[in-house]
Structure 1
């Protein structure tokens, strides 16, 4: 005789429980069996619910032995949440790796262009510290604290981008005019210097020039409106080649670089003759920069038109009635002594006499 088993259904859409009677001859209970039992009594399809029987979640592959069920069971229907995002769940397309990569890769911070511009005008291009006297500028218009630049040159730690700076000759001492009322603080958000003529702040909004002769720094507007061939501050003579634009554009820096290379080429050509070698031969640099060796003769003129003198020899200035070899021995000890040798009883005894 089969025991009758009853299942009470709890649904969020019904105010009272529904009682289902299981077939006494049924041995296995599946989700499809429950679906057929609920079709007539429940208004919703089970596909819209999660089915839990006596605390156990059921799916299409779940099979429950009816004999193992208690005489009275509880079937609870939980409505499924609609997907599509925004519900806090996963879509199934993500993996743990993609989240790890997303948070592991540090995104670069966005740089404020105004702060970047201001930094070039207020800070040293090498140490990034606030500009402080004494300051210098290179031939391409970059600003430096002189102490930081000299220290980098001495320790040979100058970055590759500034490799064209070889020494003090490649930097110009500049004179910056402090803003009126400035207390000399190292505030990195406002300009500390200004043009001594126009009063424009030294902050990158206006073009500035440094004069190589005297080192004074002033705005381009001042030089344009007050047309003069001398410095507007100290009245020193100024030519167009003496003006170095500070933190110029790519085109302006390119022109400064060409001018720097031309000046270095002229300096190499001006040097001309190098140091004399030990054997009386000198190295002469031609127009193409190549080095050629020429024999130096007394009173001769080399390829560059420079008069060179013959190496001094004591034997060429022998007094009257003096022996040349004896006189030359007073100034040199290069006479060969292969005809002499020392013995235990006499030094420098001529060969063949002992």
Structure 2
């Protein structure tokens, strides 16, 4: 059995077996997760933020997404849990002194270490390249390796000194199980926050009820109106209330006049108890009024500039 030209095919050329599963390069996968933004797939650059699930983003990419969520983005599924800028925390990272930059091997005549990372752990010195577990604190945003937190057990941040709890520790780029646990905790926190906050309708109803109660039970205004009614009744009956310091039988006792209504206004010029000198201080006095001969015409001048 042969083909044209007298060639003899081999077995692997005639019999096709199952396709081999393509394996992803581990170094490439780690570089994609630790050196590139999870949303924009661009290289990570300061300022770098992270969410409650431990994913790394560029802050400008997150802001652009929050401003326009309707835009088509390749990895928009990764940030569906973000509602606002408060859902991310800016990371306080420590630079790696051995990092020479992205253009360190432009000529191609030097060895390029793929495991070299931009940032390191400030306590142990491990590089943040994906081969070691790294965490960040939600209180201050400082980033440490998991080994540093286990070896030096404390409730105070190693870098800035702020206190923290175990719930504030978030693993960066954790496994699926860790991400699911963090998602459950995030949903519980949001549910508690919604329960503590009162809706606006309830606040408006409370304010209205307070106003209605104050109208129904006015203490100060009710006492004043009651006193004024009592005084007016006494005057109408002809009884003269006694003034403190004088006897009731004396003829010099003054009659207390009823209080004027709050809405009515009384002119000063009509008050008989006021003197003319006091009345002349106001513009409603006859001396303050001018005649037509005393008043001058209103003259206006509009200059024209050419």
Partner of 2:2: 83
Tell me the TM-score normalized by structure 2: 0.58
User: Which protein shows a greater Rg?
Assistant: 1
Q: Which structure has the highest helix share of the two?
A: 2
**Counterpart of 1:116?**
29
Q: How does 1:37-76 map to 2 (within 5 A)?
A: none
The structure 2 residue matched to 1:237, chosen from 141, 163, 182, is 163
Q: Deviations over 1:171-208 (max 9, x none)?
A: 01111111113234378944111111111111111111
CA contact (8 A) 2:38 2:57 kept: yes
Asked if 2 retains the 8 angstrom alpha-carbon contact of 1:130 and 1:186, the reply is no
Question: How far off its partner does 1:130 sit?
Answer: 1.3
Q: Aligned residue for 2:81?
A: 164
Aligned counterpart for 1:130 among listed residues 20, 32, 43: 43
Q: Secondary structure at the match of 2:57?
A: strand
Q: C-alpha deviations, 1:244-301, integer Å up to 9, x for none?
A: 1000011111110011011101100110242468xx636xxxxxxxxxxxx9523xxx
**2:59 matched to which residue of 1?**
146
* Post-superposition offset of 1:86: 9.4
Does residue 174 (structure 1) correspond to residue 94 (structure 2)? The answer is no
Gaps of 5+ in 1: 1-81, 91-106, 283-294, 299-308, 325-354
Q: Within 2, Cα distance between the matches of 1:86 and 1:208?
A: 63
Structure 1 vs Structure 2 CA RMSD: 3.5
Secondary structure at the residue paired with 2:209? Answer: coil
Query: How many residues get paired?
Result: 203
Secondary structure in 1 aligned to 2:200? strand
CA distance in 1, matches of 2:168, 2:146: 13
Q: Does the CA-based 8 Å contact 2:38-2:78 persist in structure 1?
A: no
SS in 2 for 1:297: helix
User: Could you tell me which of 180, 183, 189 is aligned with 2:100?
Assistant: 183
Q: In structure 2, what is the Cα distance between the partners aligned to 1:322 and 1:273?
A: 40
RCO higher in structure (CA 8 A, sep ≥6): 2
What is the CA distance between 1:110 and its match in structure 2? Answer: 5.7
